[in-house]
Every structure is written in structure tokens, then in C-alpha cells.
Homo-oligomer: A and B are copies of this chain.
Amino acid sequence: MIGRLIDGIKKTGAPIVVGLDPKLEYVPKHIQKAAFDEFGENLTGAAQAIWEYNKKIVDATYDLIPAVKPQIAMYETLGIEGLKVFQKTVEYCHEKGLIVIGDIKRGDIGSTSEAYAIGHLGKVKIGNQTFSGFDEDFVTVNPYLGSDGVKPFVKICQEENKGLFILVKTSNPSSGEFQDRLIDGKALYELVAEKVVEWGSELMEQGYSEIGAVVGATYPEIGRALRKAMPKSFILVPGYGAQGGKGADLVDYFNEDGLGAIVNSSRGIIAAYKQDKYAQFGEEHFEEASRQAVQDMIADISGALENAK
């Protein structure tokens, strides 16, 4: 699957991923109204509004990008109705040819991690047939439980040709509270990075591993060091845009081949119409603001990569 992601990045020239992390407050009023009129002001109506919103954003941006990253928490917050929209969004993005990175940050002990891996990346056997639960292409995984919490995901990736991004250094302000603490002279995130390399060493495509890492855009010096520590791991970079990261800060997350990183923006794209910069599109044409924001993000990052050559 990492090979498909690389192909997609090369084809679009866009090492970026749109974070489909919808909040009801981002959904334009006309979409909310239509959904509430049809289904009521309840979980079903809210989920429908988010579904229509997602679809319009995907329709307006899919030809520019290789991948999307729906954040499952934003769907789970609406219970079953929200998760149905998560599932429909994964399917719809697949129909549009997009790679789907499920931002699920799961992780548990052995057989329980296996259950998550089957539900999100694999197939469950019932009688003589197999069925998919959510069927993403990559998922994010939390490493706190150690190797036997991660390896069941790796096993399913091997069987199904799928991939992972393991949380190494997250983008939030307090990520250093545990992740930066020194152990025998190395930060915890460095130890996790070493394991990411180990876990992914046998799953290579086009020179990169199916097992990548999450490293926040908000810590560029750490990004630089982790790029060197995990030369064959793709880095999924959250924290661009709304969280403060800029293209110029992200050059060192990439390898000299121009690959090795994929930068996520969520709010900055999906709620672009709320920014002064894109106000001219208006709420009615929010999806055009999102398209423009994607184009601006591609220009920012590819410009920064060009300048760094």
C-alpha cells in the first residue's frame, strides 16, 4: 500500500493528505438545514449533514490529492450514526480513487489489537466467507503497549497489503510530557522510532516501509532528527496550518528523493471558508474554498521543497 501512496504522491505532486475531521460547527448552515429538515435535529440529522459536507469536500479536492485521513473520533462522537458516516466516507473515498488513512490511534494487547486490525484493515471470517468492517488502507496506532500491541497490526498489513503510521512524536503542546523524557540518553520517541524501523523492516515497497510514523509539524527539529533515524519510514505529519506548522518548517521531514513524508491539514482545508483568506467564496461555496486551500497548501509545500534543493 505504501507503493500506491508513493505513486499517488508522484502523480499529483502533492505530498499532502486532507484530514476529514468534521465538526458540526464547520458544516455550512444550508447543509445543516437540509439534513435537519429531512431527518430531524438529532444524531441522524447531524450525521447526514456531515456526510453531505464530506462528500462535497471530497468531490472538490479528490483530483488534487493522493489520500484523505478521516479522524474517527469526530464520527464516534455521534455514536452509531456517526460511525455509519465514517464507513460511508471510507467507501466513497475509495470510489474516488483515494487512499484512506484511518486516524484511529488504536492499540491494545495481542488478540485485542488483532481484533482492531481485522476491523479496520483486514477481513473477518464468518462461516466460509470473509467480510470487511471499515476497510481503511492505513491506520494510526498507539505504541504505549509495546511490540505485542503493534505486531498484530503489522501481521494484518502483511496479509492484506496495508500499512500503519505509529505515533512517535505527536503535535500537541504536552506531547513532550512522556514522549521527550530521556531514557539512557535517548528520548522515548527515539526508542519508539527504533521500534518502528524494526517492526517495518520486512514490509518494503519502492524503498519505503509499510510501517510509517506520526511526527508532528510543530516540532521541526525533532522531525529532522527522526527523518534520519527512520530513513525508510514514511512520516505522516499532522499540525500543518491550524496548529501552526508551515511548509518551510517541513522540508526536513522529507528525504532527498522528495518523498518520505505526507503532510496533513484538517481544519485548514475543510473549514477554509471560515478564514478571511478564503472569505470571498462564501459559505454557500465552501467546497471551492477547500479546493483553493488544497492548491495553496500544495504550492506552499512544493515551493519549500523546491527552495531547499
Contacts and interface: CB of A to CB of B under 8 A. Distances in A.
A45 B184 CA distance: 52
A171 B108 CA distance: 10
Contacts of A41: 126-129
Contacts of A171: 109
Given A112-B21, A178-B191, A191-B181, A80 B78 contact: no
10 contacts: A45-B126, A73-B113, A76-B120, A76-B134, A77-B133, A79-B119, A83-B83, A146-B179, A149-B172, A182-B184
Given A42-B131, A177-B195, A182-B183, 15 more contacts: A46-B124, A73-B113, A77-B118, A79-B87, A80-B84, A80-B133, A105-B107, A109-B172, A144-B167, A145-B174, A146-B177, A147-B174, A148-B172, A149-B170, A188-B188
Contact of A119 (B78, B124, B183): B78
Interface of A: 21, 23-24, 36, 41-43, 45-46, 71, 73-74, 76-80, 82-84, 87, 105-113, 115-116, 118-120, 124, 126-129, 131-134, 142-149, 167, 170-179, 181-184, 188, 191-192, 195
A188 B181 contact: yes
Given A41-B127, A42-B129, A129-B41, A179 B115 contact: no
B148 A77 contact: no
B181 A108 contact: no
Contact of A77 (B46, B73, B116, B143): B116
A112 B183 CA distance: 29
Contact of A143 (B46, B118, B178): B178
Contacts of A46: 124, 126
A108 B110 contact: no
Contact of A134 (B79, B116, B118): B79
A302 to B, nearest CB: 27
Contacts of A83: 80, 83
Contact of A142 (B79, B144, B172): B144
A248 B188 CA distance: 34
A107 B149 CA distance: 15
A110 to B, nearest CB: 6
